[in-house]
Structure 1
Amino acid sequence: MQERLDAILDRGPAGVRWSVCLRDGVSTPAERAADDVLGTASIGKLLLLAEVARRDPSSLDRRVARCDAVPVADSGIWQHLRVDELSVHDLAVLVAATSDNLATNALIAHVGLDAVAACGRDLGLRRTSLLDVVRGFRDDTVPEQLSCGSARELAGFMAAVAAGQLVDASVSARLAGWLALNTDLSMVASAFALDPLAHTARDEPGVRLFNKTGTNSGVRGDVGHVSGAGGSMSYAVLANVIDPALHPHVLATMREVGDLLVDRVG
């Protein structure tokens, strides 16, 4: 598997920084610069979702107002809806399903970035962080990126969720349920031939997936857990580029990594 991953990445586009980790349970059959810290864009929202998931389940019913969030557009659907308050649970669903930026900022306002950072530390993450709220513009007064992370930590995060060991079984199940709703299957997961709008366990009896992606002008990243008749794999595939013109080639390479995973999990 390592030889195949190396061949895929080596024939991919030049000018790309990769951090990749393909994990089979506790073993890592293939990796590339897995401890390097790269920009991860919306993948950092995983830590926010983990903090929300590990709180008292009764807190999921609390209402959060849209006006409490730092205004932001781009990804997500809450900005297009007329409802001005949603429950914490509903906001988490929007973040997991559509990487909703406004819902993300509302949840950050609700729980606080300090709590999210503490959650990361409690989970043993040292290279992976959610650094800020989502902003339409960044200057030198705020962090230069939304989040950062390493493929090894992120693949381990997904492996813990899959094993029911991220905090405990109930927290892991809650988080996996949210992440199974993700509609972005454009990267590694494009190889799995799933319906992007319906691929939960009851919808797809074959390959099953939960994942989170991150996208901005310099980042493409996909981290998740995929299982099938032949087994299961947790993965993190992160790419940082200077030239956005490389993104189509990066996506093609990520699809090849997905094909490698398909061969493994059957």
Structure 2
Amino acid sequence: MTNGINWSVLAVRLDQPDAEPWIEQSSDLVLKTASVGKLLVLGDVARRIDGGELAADQRVSKTEARFVRDSGLWHALDQEELTVVDACRLVGAVSDNLATNVLIDLVGLDAVAAYGDSIGAKPMEMLDYVSGEARDLSVPGTPPTLSRASAASLVHYLRRLYDGTVSPRVEEWMSLSTDLSMVAAAFGEDPLAHNTIGEPGHPRLINKTGTDDGIRADVGLVRDGARAVGYAVIANWPTDESPPGLASVMERMRRIGAEIRDRMAQV
């Protein structure tokens, strides 16, 4: 814990299997990760599409889904149905909560957990549907949080994405992310237009963030030519205390991003 904040941090080159970490702090500490767990949902859906179990253009409806607003766009759109792939794109781009719930209805939480086990993701877990209400932990069986992970387990997920175990479709969907406010801020990319093929001297960044009261998390993969760096930074802090608060968390996350950026420019 640093100044009242619990951190789990890891940044390491993925193109060098035995590389020493660039940055590391309590990388095995399991913390709440908010929407980051949606990566497991995307991974399972992508696996099913690749295997022919799901059609990419299959239509899914929000009509009977667990309705939730907050992050996302679908709840504000007139369109009642989307293709499976478009729902995944919404999750990748704007962490769409309603699209996430529709996709979980499609495959099931147990299947998402089994997918995580198949790629060795634990302690990274997606524990529940997304809800717009506070969790009532007095109700038996209520998960303590939406998702949880350690930085090491998130980087493991990135390794499986880098080596092709996790479908390349997930990288495509992550490339649409519009939240570059945390670690990714250091790279100075346009949040609305950065999903281009990386060229030497201009890294390609993909990421997924998680945000809730007392939670900030950012996991990402930065490619520059043959080099690839995976990072995961998670911060949890008590919401009933004023300092250190959000400002210091965001400041440190951006400093970590700057260190990754600067080291990539040197190697």
User: Under a length normalisation based on structure 2, what TM-score does the superposition of the two structures give?
Assistant: 0.89
Sort the Cα spacing of 1:94 and 1:238 in 2 relative to 1 into closer, same or farther, 3 A. Answer: same
Counterpart position of 1:232? 228
Aligned partner of residue 86 in structure 1, secondary structure: strand
1:68 is displaced (CA, Å) by 2.6
Any gaps of 5 or more consecutive residues in structure 1? 1-9
Any gaps of 5 or more consecutive residues in structure 2? none
Aligned residues: 250
1:204 is displaced (CA, Å) by 7.6
Counterpart position of 2:219? 223
Q: What whole-Å deviation, never above 9, does each CA across 1:191-244 have from its counterpart, x for those lacking one?
A: 000000011124887121111000000100000101236932100000001137
Counterpart position of 2:150? 150
Query: Contact 1:19–1:237 (CA<8 Å) still a contact in 2?
Result: yes
1:162 is displaced (CA, Å) by 2.3
| Higher share in helix | 1
- Once the two structures are overlaid, the 10-residue window that deviates more, 92-101 or 67-76, is 67-76
> Residues 82-97 of structure 1 correspond to what in structure 2 (within 5 A)?
82-97=78-93
Counterpart position of 1:105? 101
Amino acid at match of 1:19: S
Counterpart position of 2:180? 185
Counterpart position of 2:10? 21
Aligned partner of residue 220 in structure 1, secondary structure: strand
Counterpart position of 2:195? 200
Query: Contact 1:68–1:109 (CA<8 Å) still a contact in 2?
Result: no
Counterpart position of 1:44? 37
Sort the Cα spacing of 1:249 and 1:194 in 2 relative to 1 into closer, same or farther, 3 A. Answer: same
Aligned partner of residue 14 in structure 1, secondary structure: coil
Q: What whole-Å deviation, never above 9, does each CA across 1:148-172 have from its counterpart, x for those lacking one?
A: 0010010121122123233xxxx2x
Query: Contact 2:199–2:224 (CA<8 Å) still a contact in 1?
Result: no
Equivalents in 1 of 2:197, 2:78: separation in Å? 31
Counterpart position of 1:3? none
C-alpha RMSD of matched pairs (Å): 1.8
> Residues 69-80 of structure 1 correspond to what in structure 2 (within 5 A)?
69-80=65-76
> Residues 238-249 of structure 1 correspond to what in structure 2 (within 5 A)?
238-243=234-239, 245=242, 246-249=245-248
Aligned partner of residue 82 in structure 2, secondary structure: strand
User: Under a length normalisation based on structure 1, what TM-score does the superposition of the two structures give?
Assistant: 0.89
Equivalents in 2 of 1:104, 1:192: separation in Å? 28
Quick check: 1:125 aligned with 2:124? no
Quick check: 1:160 aligned with 2:160? yes
Sort the Cα spacing of 1:69 and 1:105 in 2 relative to 1 into closer, same or farther, 3 A. Answer: same
Identity of aligned residues (%): 45
